[in-house]
Amino acid sequence: MRKAFRVGAIVGGMLGVVVTLGMDIILGQKSGEGWSMAVASDLNRLLNAHFSTNNIIVIIGVLLIIGIIASIGALVGGFFSTLIARLFEVLTKED
């Protein structure tokens, strides 16, 4: 079961990063905004500051958001791969 969780966590984390970056590339270019513009806008509203999209704080915020999404994807991937491995173990068990 541990191997199934590890494989699912790796695949889920990678898919989380791919989806996040895909959203940034596809939707960010279409609307003129991306993750960095969204984080900069939120920080400017929250702190009453004027951060640009290339500021180190904004870049750290973007990496933090991508990391959170990747970790959630890893947990979900690990859970479901363990669930599927357990299902196949029960189905293939011989009496």
- Domain ranges across the chain: 2-92
Rounded distance, CA 25 to CA 13, Å?
18
Q: Give the C-alpha separation, 71 to 74, whole Å.
A: 5
Tokens 């991508």 sit at which residue? Answer: 66
CA dist 37 and 78 (Å) reads 32
pLDDT bucket at 71, cuts 50 / 70 / 90: very high
Could you read off the pLDDT of 8-48 as tens digits, one per residue? 999 999 999 999 888 888 877 666 678 888 889 899 999 99
User: pTM for this structure?
Assistant: 0.81
